[in-house]
Amino acid sequence: MKILVVGGAGYIGSHMVKQLSLAGNDVITLDNLSYGYRDAVKYGKFIEGDLGDNAVLDAIFKSADIDAVMHFAGFIQVGESVIKPSMYYHNNVVNTLTLLDAMLRHDIKNFIFSSTAAIFGEPDYTPIDEKHQKQPINPYGHSKLMIEQVLDDYDKAYGLRSTCLRYFNAAGADPDGELGERHIPETHLIPLILQAASGRRDDIKVFGDDYETDDGSCVRDYIHINDLCQAHSLALDSMIKNNKSARFNLGNGKGFSVKQVIDVVKDVSGKNFKVSIEPRRDGDPAVLVADATLAKKELNWQPEFAELKDIVKTAWDWEVNFLCQ
């Protein structure tokens, strides 16, 4: 297939581009490099440009016979979205609409969308399945849910088929060591703990130890980046075969507390480092764990990295062999 990966220079997008290319697909990456890295696009064709730019989109869709579009170019920081909602609604909603309308102009009807557990808001129950009510508690979650709603309507009105994949906590790195996570600023737990282990930062701060969880720290569901990408590939095949839109929650179904993750990193890295307890971070639900039964059943998806230590090991190798060099 010929696939356009928007945001293919970012963390998840770059792993996706690699996986799709190695599977024999013809991949084009479109990325404006605002957060991505040119050297993360190691496969296929790269075009520097903005997903909100109609001229760029028309040129790509006119010159290449694209079968499907995967969209990873969303802004992802919950805290920033609260302070700068305009930025989030413009990029995540307006620019995505521009992309979708360009697809329609060129009769491209297959779309895979990076959604998020943040669309569910504060959970009523865990693990969270697809039926759970959707009440985001921040602009980031709202922006992703708005697009899910747009996609429902575009399916009905225009026959644009979409699969929305709600990620829980994407983690880990390419086991070949070619790619990994490089956010600036880094706000995610695992890379920050790894920086403490490698000595690139002084300590790791635990945001809250008074939650109603076993050890008081927040519980999350960490899923390896390759497993996440595998689900995208399966979702695309299934959507095209069945000519049907779908929504799936993606996680391992197992929760780990912040303190447990710190212990796993200490174990995998063999390093000790300072851990400090800080106040809660705004907007953090105590527990977020996915029920991914539907994806396993409908897509025949089976995560390979079921153990957190194996996920952390790939990220530790990336920290030591790439980021620390």
Binding site for ligand UFG (CB under 6 A): 76, 78, 116-118, 140, 169, 187-189, 192, 204-207, 218, 220, 258, 281, 284, 288
* Nearer of residues 43 and 167 to ligand UFG, judged by Cβ: 167
Cα–Cα distance for residue pair 284/286, rounded to 1 Å: 6
Q: Tell me 189's DSSP state.
A: H
Closest CA to 125 of 258, 249, 310: 249
The nearer residue to ligand UFG, 45 or 280, going by C-beta atoms, is 280
Let me know: does 77 contact 15? Beta carbons within 8 Å. Answer: no
* Residue number, 56 or 277, with CB nearest to ligand UFG: 277
Cα end-to-end distance, the chain, whole Å? 37
Determine which one of 11, 43, 88, 140 is catalytic.
140
What gap in Å lies between CA 101 and CA 239, rounded to an integer?
A: 20
Closest distance between ligand UFG and the C-beta of residue 307, in Å? 18
Question: Would you call 47 helix, strand, or coil by DSSP?
Answer: strand
Considering the complex, state which of residue 118 and residue 225 has its C-beta at the smaller distance from ligand UFG.
118
Instruction: Name the minimum Å distance from CB 117 to ligand UFG.
Output: 4
Residue 140 bears catalytic tag: yes
Of 302, 320, 304, nearest to 265 (Cα)? 320
| Minimum CB distance to ligand UFG, residue 104 (Å) | 28
In the complex, the smallest distance separating the C-beta of residue 76 from ligand UFG, rounded to whole angstroms, is 4
The rounded distance, in Å, linking the Cα atoms of 272 and 285 is 28
Compute CA distances 197 → 262, 266, 273, 316, 319, whole Å.
Answer: 10, 7, 6, 9, 9
- Which residues are known to be catalytic? 140
